[in-house]
Amino acid sequence: MKECGNACDLKTCFLCKLCLPEWLPALAVQKRNFEVKKGELIFKEGDAVNGIYFVHKGSFKVHKSWDKDKELIIRFARSADIIGHMGLGKRLLYPVSATALEPSVVCYLEIAFFEATLKVNTELAYQLIRFLANELDDSHRSMRDLAHMSVKARIAQAFISLHQQFGIDEQGFIDVEISRQDISSFAGTTYETLFKVLNEFAKQSILTLTGRKIFIADHLKLQEIVNNDH
C-alpha cells in the first residue's frame, strides 16, 4: 500500500459528498490517498483500528477468516463505498479483513478526525446511520440464508447479489473479476461444491463462468432456484 497524490476529487466519495463546503479544506489536509495492489490487504482481522477508508477506485472483499484456509466473505465494496466502519464500535481491533480484488485507490482518514467530523456534520452522521441500518439488514438476511437455505440456493443468491452490486459490462458479463474460491466463500460453501452446482447451472443454460467472468443467461430461473427453496 503506497501513499499517492490526491486522486479523489472530494466530491465523488460517500464522505466528501456529504461534507459541508466549509469543512472541505480541513478534509483535504487530513485525507491521505493510497494505491493498493491486487490481492493486497488494507487491514486484517486483529489489526488495531486506526482509521476509516473510502474506496475511490477499484473493488474489495471484506472477509472473516476461520481455520487458516477457510473464510467467509461478508460483503464486497466498490467505488464510493466505506470500509472499516466497524472501527466505530467499541472494539479496538478490526473484526474483519479487507483485500483488494484489483488495483485500487482508497482515501483514508484517522478515526479521531472522522469522529470529530461526525459530531459537527449532522447530515453525514444521519446518512451514516442509514447506511449502517441497511448493512445490518443485509447481514441479518445473510444469517437467515446461511441457516436455512440449501447450498444451491445460496450460490444462486450469491450471483444475484454480485449482479446487483456490480452490474454488467458491455458484453453482458457481471462487471467484476472474481475467483471461484471467493465465490464459494461468499456463498458460504466449499470450492468443490460450488463446482458441481456450477456445472448444473451451465447444463441448464442458467449461468456460465468462464475464466473469472460471470454471465447470467437466465435471471428468472436463477431467481426461481432461490424462491423454490422456501
- Return the residue of 161, 188, 193, 217 that touches its own copies, per CB under 8 A: 188
- In contact, 79 and 102? CB cutoff 8 Å: no
Contact flag: residue 20 with its own copies (CB under 8 A): no
Residue 91 contact, options its own copies, DNA, none, Cβ 5-8 Å cut-off depending on partner type: its own copies
Q: How far is CA 108 from the centre of its chain?
A: 17
74 within 8 A of 62, measured Cβ to Cβ: yes
* H or E, element range at 121: none
Q: Give the nearer residue to its own copies in terms of CB position, either 58 or 87.
A: 87
Residue 70 interacts with its own copies (CB under 8 A): yes or no: yes
Of residues 156 and 216, the one with the C-beta less far from DNA = 156
**CB nearer to DNA: pick between 15 and 225:** 225
219 binds, among its own copies, DNA, none (CB under 5 to 8 A by kind): none
206 binds its own copies (CB under 8 A): no
| Interface with its own copies, residue 196, by CB under 8 A | no
- Residue 130, interface with its own copies (CB under 8 A)? yes
Rule CB under 8 A: choose which of 17, 37, 38, 64 binds its own copies. Answer: 64
Distances in whole angstroms, Cα of residue 126 to Cα of each of 11, 118, 119, 142: 18, 9, 11, 25
Task: Pick the closer one to its own copies by CB: 103 or 188.
Answer: 188
Residue 142 in the binding site for its own copies (CB under 8 A): yes
State how far the Cα of 137 lies from the Cα of 131, in Å rounded to an integer: 10
Interface with its own copies (CB under 8 A), residue total: 43
* Residues in touch with its own copies (CB under 8 A): 64, 66-67, 70, 72, 74, 85-91, 95-96, 115, 118-120, 122-123, 125-126, 128-130, 132-137, 139-144, 146-148, 188, 230
